Amino acid sequence: MEKSFFKPEYDCIIIGSALAGMTAAITLRKKGFDNILILERQDMPGGVTTSFVRGGIELEASLHEMSSISSKECPLSVRKFLQENEIDVDWMKSDVAYRYVEPGLDCLVHSGENGTYERAAHDIALAVGDENGEIYERVLMFFHDCKKVYDSITGLADGKLLDIKLIENHIDLIRGLGYSLESVLKAYHLPSKVERILSAYWSYLGNTPDDLPYILYSYIVADYIGYGPYLCKKTSHELSLQLAECCTRMGIEIEYHQEVEKILVSDHHVVGVRLSSGQVLYSNYVISGAYPNTVYTKMIEPQEEVKKEAFKMLNSRQLGSTVFSLLLVLDQSPEELGIDTYMTFYAPSGMNYKKIAKSYHSSHDYRYTMNVCMNIVNKDCSPKGTTIYSITALPYPDGWKNVTPYNYETYKQRVAKEMIEMESKRLGISLKDHIKEIEFITPVSIAHYSKSFRGCIYGYKSCQNDSIGARIMTHNEELFIPGLAFAGAHQYAGDGMGPAINNGMQAAMDILSQWNKDVPAPLKKLIIKK
């Protein structure tokens, strides 16, 4: 029997209550869409932006730091969006952007305030023995050039990269298109040690510096280093709950334990969805949190409505990173354990990009990790005398293609042992002797919990032949089914919690654009507020 709480028809149905999906719903509601439905297969909102409890201690599942926040006095895009919608998250800023460690090199890079980079430039120059000399000036110049690109990207409202005004007013952005991070760094004539420190964030973006677009990297560096990384004091679940509460406050319907099995298309236009229960819900517009790989190959009904161009797009794009993360609760405080840094990038064999990438294409022996101690920024995140510590690698999904239900536990334990031993050696302590609780987040657990395609959390790999600039220019051409848009890491803004908010807003704009062009009869009664 059909459930009575569903309406006969919706202005838009959103698949998934992750950050992007809820942001899309909020944006559409403010633009005049009255009947919006979010369908979530889990019993809580947020997707992987969540937390869980082990041994009575709440552990962060995914969000170690967030970009595009900054201070209340100098808010960036995400904080502005949250403020505009009366979403009050308790943010905590990290004074340190990151620490980079490899054999013979250890550099602590501090974050700036409201877009300043002098302190970070000083840190890096000092680490290579040139505190206030030429290297300092060149590093500072690199940061300032990244900031110019950042300002251009954040200032673009319409995304028309071929507009003559863009060329006139955003020359630094235009000049950086087509170049890799590695090629741009070479232009500053910096020592190789400095290049390695500056490129530390590359793993967060899922590609090595020789193929990673400079434009994308400069945006991340300008944000995290100039304004600082921010954490949710009450874990990322606070952010998810606040967004869900905002949706409810605005009259947006969220229904949990509702899995969408099919997106229904008729006469080349979306007409609704079918749930796993068999119930059909009607709408001319659907925003999907599921990857296009899953949608176009399994979810569109009938399959004949999927254009060949959609499959060509899928075949031309590489999946970004998935994740293997160990979450540890340790039985002593950070001070007792000698842990004094919030975020550390560690390359135990040196920063050899090719070897690290090769290890990421395997199922173990990861040679580059991100190690986070939440207590350094949020002293109250765990009981007194304990520490929450995570060790994370960002492998590619193909490394786990041979994992089966029969060997999964063996793989998981092998990687965990390697990572704990590697990080114990760096810290000079035996982590395994201090573990009170341990939890694993693997590509398999991500795929199981979120149904993310092959456990991928980083969307499509951004590379020289498939950069964010190119994706923006071809974006409208890749909306292959009228009435269907996508919200998630697979959107062109890419991965991360901050970009998820921007991706959600973009998905809403995609729907609004389609609505304005060709209004299906059932929705002509809508009045869009400009």
Q: What is the DSSP string of 379-399?
A: TTSS-TT-EEEEEEE---GGG
Name the pLDDT band for 467 (thresholds 50, 70, 90).
confident
CB within 8 Å of 236: residues ≥ 6 apart? 46, 49, 50, 51, 60, 61, 62, 63, 497
Calculate the CA 92 to chain-centre distance: 19
Helix (H) or strand (E) holding 305: none
pTM of the predicted structure, to 2 decimals: 0.92
Average pLDDT of the segment spanning 418-425: 96
Confidence of residue 524 (pLDDT cuts 50, 70, 90): very low
Q: Give the pLDDT score at 370.
A: 96
> b/e per residue, 259-279, with b = 16+ CB within 10 A?
ebebbbbeeebbbbbbbeeee
> At residue 249, does pLDDT exceed 60?
yes
- pLDDT mean over 206-219: 91
Residue 511 has pLDDT above 70, yes or no: yes
Band the pLDDT of 161: cuts 50, 70, 90.
very low
Mean pLDDT, range 244-258, rounded to an integer: 96
Q: Nearest-CA neighbor of 310 among 528, 444, 481?
A: 481
Average pLDDT estimate for 473-500: 84
Inform me whether the pLDDT recorded for 261 exceeds 60: yes
pLDDT at site 463: 87
Q: How far apart are CA 512 and CA 505, in angstroms?
A: 11
Average pLDDT rounded to a whole number, residues 176-190: 88
Q: How far lies 326's CA from each of 347, 365, 371, 431, 501, in Å?
A: 17, 14, 10, 12, 26
CA distance 418 to 424: 10
Q: Which pair of structure tokens corresponds to residue 298?
A: 């399994």
Q: Using one digit for the tens of pLDDT, what is the confidence trace for 328-381?
A: 999 999 999 999 999 999 999 999 999 999 999 988 889 999 999 999 999 999
pLDDT band at 83 (very low <50, low <70, confident <90, very high): very high
Q: Which residues contact 176 (CB under 8 A, 6 or more apart)?
A: 149, 184, 214, 215, 218
pLDDT of residue 458: 87
> Residue 405 above 60 pLDDT?
yes
- The b/e string for 198-228 (b: 16+ C-beta within 10 A; e otherwise) is bbbbbbbbbbbbbbbbbbbbbbbbbbbbbbb
Find out whether 357 and 399 touch, Cβ atoms under 8 Å: no
* Higher pLDDT pick, 276 / 152: 276
- Calculate the alpha carbon distances from 19 to 16, 124, 374, 377, 435 in Å: 9, 34, 22, 23, 32
- Cis-peptide, bond into residue 302, ω within 30° of zero: yes
Q: Phi/psi of residue 401, each to 5°? A: -70, -25
| Lowest-confidence segment of 152-166, 347-361, 404-418, 451-465 by average pLDDT | 152-166
pLDDT for position 437:
95
The SS3 assignment for 148 reads: helix
